[in-house]
């Protein structure tokens, strides 16, 4: 679940600062590495490091060196390929079309077999994204667009891509449209961003979202678009609405915040709380649902946990020990309000269960009499192979325990989930247009039978 951002300027603009701010808005999508590549018409320059955007680009000089009028940026959350500098993006490679830079959000499911067929390409890392770059460099097609189309015909899985040459910027989505990518217009140029919040921060107007299988190309002649692949149906990732996207973003025409509030209201109807003193959401992604739950149940909303705003998202940290420590550093309880209270805690999801268990423990240690846990999504029962790091059932608590078993593991007084039907109603998009494989085990792209955890080691 990486974040990608790009801009093409018809003026001789200093593009890197715009991309920098765009990545800031998408920081929630990946916190392991950040990078920006720019073209000045004759060469491509790139700077990338491990860390947050403001750590990687911690001086004006680093931005100033990236002069050009076309630029793409990337913030990384690793799935295929370990969390190392060699796997940071954008990826820059030489091709018969000149140097290109590539930024990828998503995950491919046939990476290993493709890589075996790319003998002779000097891989720097172990990502599926670099495989796409290698396929382009091996192509014998006459144009970059044709080479990209040929390459994507060979890959399977989820991708939202930005590909930049010295004189053009290309955006493309997989035929199912699993990952988000939108188009914006800024005076003198065009913007591509994983989410609409990336447009807002740079003052761009929202044009539309790319369709599944669509390729959009911006060059000196303007923006041109065409469908390069068709699927029987769109399969947009439902987990974007549940957790990943920023609440101020709009996806598929639906406000993420509005969808999460609606999830909370329906959760209150389906899983009403016992007599409680107040409703509290787990910051930040559980707050909108808690507001909805409070509104529907007529029980007061109140804070029980204060978030340290300088700590990242614990779910997308790469290892469990970091996640465990992250909960303690990230959330601090309001002891004076929790003591002797009966409260309902709302969270957006339970994936592994370790974070939720620690939250219940923290609250009970503050003297709460009862802790009732409510989840504004259905149980996550299946792995995701399209970009979320839950690749094996052994890591998913709901795939291994009953609701009562999960309640006991959390040590909560009660536990309730939103139904699948309730989630679809809250999102207010056709069920057949969304990928809900993690919730119902129905995969829009067929998964190889023996596909395990997608960490390539060569």
Known binding-site positions for Mg(2+)? 285, 347-348
DSSP 284: T
Active site residues: 2
Beta bridge partners of 221: none
DSSP 52: -
Q: Where are the beta strands (DSSP E) in 10-167?
A: 33-39, 44-50, 70-76, 91-95, 98-108, 157-164
Q: How many CB atoms lie within 10 A of CB 262?
A: 24
Structural tokens at position 172: 């493309």
DSSP 286: T
Question: Binding site membership for [4Fe-4S] cluster: which residues?
Answer: 237, 384, 435, 438
Q: Count CA atoms within 13 Å of residue 19 on its CB side.
A: 37
Whether 77 and 203 have beta carbons less than 8 Å apart is answered as no
- CA distance linking residue 284 with residue 313, whole number of Å: 9
Question: Binding site membership: which residues?
Answer: 237, 285, 347-348, 384, 435, 438
- CA distance linking residue 396 with residue 98, whole number of Å: 44
Q: Count CA atoms within 13 Å of residue 290 on its CB side.
A: 25
Cα three-residue angle 76-394-458, rounded to 5 degrees: 50
Q: Is 44 exposed, middle or buried (0-12, 13-18, 19+ CB in 10 A)?
A: buried
Strands 236-237 and 278-281: unpaired
Q: Where are the beta strands (DSSP E) in 169-288?
A: 169-173, 182-186, 189-193, 205-209, 214-219, 222-227, 236-237, 250-251, 254-255, 278-281
Q: What DSSP element (H or E) covers 331? A: strand 331-333
> What 3-state DSSP class applies to 157?
strand
């Amino acid at each position: 679940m990486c974040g990608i951002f790009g801009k093409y300027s018809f003026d001789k603009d200093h593009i890197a600062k715009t991309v920098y701010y765009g990545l800031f808005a998408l920081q929630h999508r990946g916190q392991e590495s950040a990078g920006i590549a720019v073209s000045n018409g004759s060469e491509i320059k790139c700077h990338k490091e491990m860390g947050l955007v403001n750590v990687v680009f911690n001086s004006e000089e680093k931005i100033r060196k990236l002069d050009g009028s076309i630029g793409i940026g990337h913030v990384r959350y690793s799935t295929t390929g370990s969390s190392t500098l060699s796997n940071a993006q954008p990826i820059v490679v030489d091709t018969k079309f000149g140097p290109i830079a590539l930024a990828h959000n998503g995950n491919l499911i046939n990476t290993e077999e493709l890589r075996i067929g790319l003998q002779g390409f000097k891989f720097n890392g172990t990502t599926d994204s670099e495989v796409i770059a290698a396929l382009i460099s091996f192509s014998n097609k006459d144009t970059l667009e044709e080479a990209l189309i040929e390459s994507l015909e060979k890959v399977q899985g989820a991708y939202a891509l930005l590909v930049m040459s010295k004189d053009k910027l290309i955006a493309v989505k997989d035929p199912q449209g699993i990952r988000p990518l939108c188009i914006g217009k800024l005076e003198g140029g065009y913007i591509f961003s994983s989410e609409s919040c990336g447009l807002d921060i740079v003052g761009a107007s929202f044009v539309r979202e790319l369709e599944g299988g669509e390729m959009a190309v911006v060059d000196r002649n303007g923006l041109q678009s065409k469908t390069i692949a068709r699927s029987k149906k769109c399969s947009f990732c439902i987990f974007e609405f549940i957790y990943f996207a920023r609440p101020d973003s709009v996806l598929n025409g639906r406000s993420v915040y509005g969808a999460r509030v609606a999830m909370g209201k329906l959760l209150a109807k389906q899983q009403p709380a016992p007599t409680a003193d107040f409703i509290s959401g787990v910051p930040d992604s559980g707050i909108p649902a808690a507001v909805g739950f409070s509104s529907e149940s007529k029980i007061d909303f109140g804070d029980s946990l204060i978030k340290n705003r300088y700590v990242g998202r614990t779910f997308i940290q790469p290892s469990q020990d970091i996640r465990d420590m992250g909960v303690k550093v990230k959330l601090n309880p309001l002891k004076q309000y929790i003591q002797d209270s009966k409260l309902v805690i709302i969270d957006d999801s339970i994936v592994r269960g370790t974070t939720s268990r620690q939250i219940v423990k923290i609250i009970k240690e503050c003297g709460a009499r009862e802790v009732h846990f409510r989840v504004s999504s259905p149980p996550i029962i299946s792995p995701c192979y399209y970009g979320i790091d839950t690749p094996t059932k052994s890591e998913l608590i709901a795939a291994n325990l009953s609701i009562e078993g999960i309640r006991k593991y959390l040590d909560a007084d009660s536990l309730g989930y939103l139904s699948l039907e309730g989630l679809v109603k809250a999102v207010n998009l056709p069920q057949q247009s969304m990928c809900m494989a993690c919730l119902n085990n129905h995969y829009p792209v067929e998964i190889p039978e023996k596909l395990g955890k997608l960490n390539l080691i060569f």
